[in-house]
Amino acid sequence: MTSRKRRVAARLGTTAVLATGMAAALAIPATAGSGAPVTPAGDNDPMIQAMQRDLGMNAAQAEQRLRAEAEARGVADTVRAELGDSFGGAHFDAERDTLVVGVTDAAKADEVRAAGAEARMVDASSAELESITQRLNRAEDRAPDGVTGWYVDVESNSVVVTTAPKTRGQATAFVNSTGADRSQVEVVESREQPRALMNIYGGNAYYMGSGGRCSIGFAVNGGFVTAGHCGSTGESTSQPSGTFAGSSFPYNDYAYVRTGSDDTPQPLVNMYNGYGRTVSGSNEAPVGSSICRSGSTTGWHCGTVEAKNQTVRYSQGAVYGMTRTDVCAEPGDSGGSFISGNQAQGMTSGGSGNCTLGGTTYFQPVNEALNAYGLSLVTG
């Protein structure tokens, strides 16, 4: 095994209608940092605390690491510009608090040292390795199912292609078919199985395996509740990935989707303004109360509870025990959250009208679904 391979291996309408639809999803926006250098703030700094927890450091070591990394970032920017086509990538050696810079031209090594970094001779420039990843990207739709990804590994000065156990041959054939320089590509078998990690928020979209889109009602321990007409028991979902563990429609209109351990139920309802409404419980609001609804087609709308225990006759059959509101909704909002104050009320079922002219919307009370499947809300 070459030293390069060892390094890689070591890291390795007007009538009542259902509100199901196909429009695009919206999600709670994440707030990005400014990118400014980190200034350590002592033992109470959440970053220092997290580094102690996750990297096995004490506070002084964490602060020193942050200072060294901030300095290394500045040096990396400088040498990248100075080396041009000779730049072979850079990595921070945490054991020595040192920036190591790859150089393809020995005559340029002194420039790296003068900037305060360690120079290391490499075969391939950063631009050459990036061109290989672009070649693989263009052929992505031809990659075998076992191939889980590829990346530039700066320390081994190569492009690493990860593939499932016992699929090295298929992955190698794929790389060869792209015309990539095999001397600069390492194929590594790995047990990693990438999947999207998602927070589960009320009002966000999810997709049914049979096609179509609905909205999450409320996060529960183990997944979320939604409308029963969105999917049948056993049907799969994506974004987040899950399975309808129970579904009832008509007569009722509720369902429970069980999700994977990598998806995190959150006690929040998306208000589609960058904020989430905290869910504190599920005490039922009386008629006349204000109530708001979140859904992946029309976002956040509010109105009033008009009546309880309504029977709604859809073309698919009657649903009993619904709550009537004057909140608008449209296709794709089905299953989404109805909340009054901080109390979960129910999941959007259907109605009439739209959010341009207004309308009537009915929801399935959430407590009935929780009791039916023995679920507990995720609250905050």
Instruction: Give me the residue spans of the domains in the chain.
Output: 126-189, 199-373
215 is catalytic: no
Output the CATH code of domain 199-373. Answer: 2.40.10.10
Does 52 score more than 60 pLDDT? yes
pLDDT digits (tens, 9 = 90+) for 251-280: 999 999 999 888 999 999 999 988 899 999
d(CA 362, CA 190): 49
Residue 29: predicted pLDDT: 30
Could you give the angle at the alpha carbon of 351 between the alpha carbons of 347 and 355, nearest 5°?
95
48-57, 67-76, 80-89 — most confident range:
80-89
pLDDT at 312: 86
Q: pLDDT exceeding 70 applies to what percent of the chain?
A: 87
- Give domain 126-189's CATH number out of 3.30.300.50, 3.90.1170.50, 3.40.1350.10, 1.10.540.10: 3.30.300.50
User: For residue 243, which amino acid is it?
Assistant: T
Nearest alpha carbon to residue 148 among 165, 132, 131: 165
368-380 pLDDT per residue, tens: 999 999 999 999 9
Question: Alpha carbon of 32 to those of 29, 35, 36, 265, 297: distances in Å?
Answer: 9, 8, 11, 22, 25
Point out the least confidently predicted range of 115-129, 137-151, 221-235, 358-372.
137-151
Where does the pLDDT of residue 317 fall: very low under 50, low under 70, confident under 90, or very high at 90 and above?
A: confident
Of residues 187, 185, 233, 176, the one with CA closest to residue 208: 233
Over residues 11-35, the mean pLDDT reads 38
Q: What is the mean pLDDT of residues 305-328?
A: 88
* pLDDT tens-place string over residues 189-216: 988 777 656 899 999 999 998 889 999 9
CA distance 53 to 243: 34
Question: Taking residues 242-258, what's their average pLDDT?
Answer: 96
Rounded Cα distance, 380 and 342, in Å: 10
Average pLDDT along the chain? 86
Position 9 scores a pLDDT of 47
pLDDT band at 119 (very low <50, low <70, confident <90, very high): very high
**What mean pLDDT is predicted for residues 148-176?**
93
Q: Counting every residue, how long is the chain?
A: 380
Catalytic residue among 126, 296, 334, 349: 334
Q: How many CB atoms lie within 10 A of CB 28?
A: 18
pLDDT for residue 246: 97
pLDDT value of position 40: 38
Is residue 253 among the annotated active site residues?
yes
**Residue tagged active-site, from 158, 229, 248, 337:** 229
Question: Is residue 8's pLDDT more than 70?
Answer: no
Predicted pLDDT of residue 38:
34
Active site residue 301: no
Query: What's the pLDDT band for 321 if we cut at 50, 70, 90?
Result: confident
Tell whether the model's pLDDT for residue 31 goes beyond 70.
no
Contact present, 217 and 205 (Cβ < 8 Å): no
Question: Looking at 86, 158, 253, 349, which residue is catalytic?
Answer: 253
Q: Which two tokens stand for residue 343?
A: 């109390």
Report the amino acid identity of residue 297.
T
Distance CA 111, CA 75 (A): 11
5 vs 169 pLDDT, higher one: 169
Please say if the pLDDT value at position 41 is more than 80.
no
pLDDT at 28 over 80: no
Whether the per-residue pLDDT at 36 is higher than 50: the answer is no
SS3 per-residue string spanning the chain? CCHHHHHHHHHCCCCCEECCECCCCCCCCCCCCCCCCCCCCCCCCHHHHHHHHHHCCCHHHHHHHHHHHHHHHHHHHHHHHHHHHHEEEEEEECCCCEEEEEECCHHHHHHHHHCCCEEEECCCCHHHHHHHHHHHHHCHHHCCCCEEEEEEECCCCEEEEEECCCCHHHHHHHHHHHCCCHHHEEEEECCCCCCCCCEEEECCEEEECCCCEEECCEEECCEEEECHHHCCCCCEEECCCEEEEEEECCECCEEEEEECCCCEEEEEEECCCCCEEECCECCCCCCCCEEEEEECCCEEEEEEEEEEEEEEEECCEEEEEEEEECCCCCCCCCCCEEEECCEEEEEEEEEEEECCCEEEEEEEEHHHHHHHHCCCECCC
Give me the pLDDT at residue 66, please. Answer: 85
Q: How far apart, in whole angstroms, are the C-alpha atoms of residue 4 and residue 264?
A: 38
